[in-house]
A = this chain, B = another copy of it.
């Protein structure tokens, strides 16, 4: 049993910590958000220089390799700085399933260009009516000669604003909620018939809704085996959740630190408000919520690539429940203890609150994962 960081992880932590400390302060972030893309391409280039865009990608494709635990170290730092660049979409949701199931040709074509910082990716899986149900896929892939014609709609595709390639799920078989018959396709952004509506999310990240109208892709665009895409998608989403858990821990830690600082410096009635026992105890509870969340985020990263999908699902869902609840409690209590300032745009606290709230809405909320965990128990 050993909870200490590996050498690689310590280096990653130092590198990313220094980067965000020097270049991703709250004011830097504001400027980045106000820019034309809503995120910073130069920052992305720096990620590439530092090797961050090679994490989790095999060395044969120019990557650094690395486990979900390694990515979690980056996620946590990014959570502390509320990084908005599409790292989760490109690396975890995009490069991840390509690495898991992609053909050699697909991997060779895409992954080195991800590592170099040249490409953004996005997973276009969720649909307007799918909510959090992974097997709910209405988008159809009709065989047409040697090609497929994709028709349907995809909703709230994270990083979909910037993606150069989409990993699109579509049915080659089966009815709406059948677990079988779902295939995953690699689709370039510029393909005819693909309409993209990009937008910001309320937490500063970005997404897009897609409409596919007979989008033609060759058979070689199938990622993995046709009709058997769901296990890859489920694994990918579990990895993404592990990433989000670590990111949330970073955000909670930063928000707790801000709140504690506020308790010590804000004075009312002639004393720091941290002298009031009710606020003291609440702050203690927030720290406990953080520690419980951190424990479960560690577990989720550890199990995200567990060979037994059942074990993986249990651990990841349990973690997502814990993160949802801790994040909600910390976010709400932090705002309350800050008073009005806590919900102003110009103060960082409220932005952590927003991010934590939306993480709970992403890939299944606490209720969803409590039910998934209970069903898997």
Give CA–CA (A278, B281) in the complex, Å: 8
Q: Is A277 an interface residue (CB 8 A)?
A: yes
A136 to B99, CA, bound (A): 56
Q: How does the 8 Å CB contact mask read for A239-264 relative to B, with 1 for contact and 0 for none?
A: 00000000000000000000000000
A3 at the interface (CB under 8 A from B): no
Nearest 5 CB-CB pairs, A to B? A277-B277, A277-B278, A278-B281, A278-B278, A276-B277
A278-B275 Cα distance, complex, nearest whole Å? 12
How many chain A residues touch B (CB < 8 A): the figure is: 4
Smallest beta-carbon distance A109→chain B, Å: 53
Q: CA–CA, A281 to B336, complex, Å?
A: 15
When distances are taken between beta carbons in the complex, the residues of chain B under 8 Å from A278 are 277-278, 281
Residue of B whose beta carbon sits closest to that of A281: B278
In Å, the complex CA distance between A276 and B278 comes to: 9
Closest to A275 in B: B277
A277 to B277, CA, bound (A): 6
Binary contact track A277-304/B, C-beta < 8 Å → 1, others 0: 1100100000000000000000000000
- Nearest B-chain residue to A278, judged by Cβ: B277
A188-226 interface with B by 8 A CB criterion: none
Residue of B nearest to A277 (CB): B277
Nearest chain B residue, comparing its CB with the CB of A280: B278
Interface residues of A in 131-169 (CB under 8 A from B): none
Complex contacts, A277 vs chain B, CB 8 Å: 276-278
- Chain B residues, CB < 8 A from A281: 278
Which chain B positions have C-beta within 8 A of A276? 277
Q: Once the chains are docked, how many angstroms separate the CA of A278 from the CA of B277?
A: 6
Complex-state Cα separation, A250 to B281, whole angstroms = 31
CA A61 – CA B276 in complex, angstroms?
Answer: 62
Nearest CB of B to A272, in Å: 14
Please report the C-alpha to C-alpha distance between residue A278 and residue B276 in the assembled complex, in whole angstroms. 9
In the bound complex, how far is the Cα of B276 from the Cα of A276, in angstroms? 9
- A277 and B276 CA atoms in complex are apart in Å by 7
Instruction: Report how far A276 CA is from B275 CA in the complex, Å.
Output: 12
Give the distance to chain B from A333, nearest Cβ to Cβ, in Å: 14
User: Separation in Å of the A3 CB from the closest CB of chain B?
Assistant: 32
Name the distance in Å between A375's Cβ and chain B's nearest Cβ: 19
Can you name 5 A-B residue pairings with CB atoms under 8 Å? A276-B277, A277-B277, A277-B278, A278-B278, A278-B281
Distance A276 CA – B277 CA, assembled complex (angstroms): 7
Cβ of A4 to closest chain B Cβ, rounded Å? 36
Roughly how many angstroms separate A334 CA and B170 CA in the complex, as a whole number? 57
Nearest B residue to A282 via CB reads: B278
Report the bound CA distance from A332 to B200 in whole Å. Answer: 46
Bound complex: CA A233 to CA B80 (Å): 60
A260 to chain B, nearest CB (A): 18
Q: Nearest Cβ distance between residue A346 and chain B, in whole angstroms?
A: 31
**Distance in Å: Cβ of A278 to nearest Cβ of chain B:** 5
Shortest Cβ gap from A337 to chain B (Å): 14
Provide the bound-state CA to CA distance between A281 and B279, in Å: 11
Q: Give the CA-CA distance A281 to B276 in the complex, in Å.
A: 12
Bound: A281/B281 CA distance, A? 12
Complex Cα distance A374/B333, Å? 30
A125 to chain B, nearest CB (A): 32
Q: Which residue of B lies closest to A279 (CB)?
A: B277
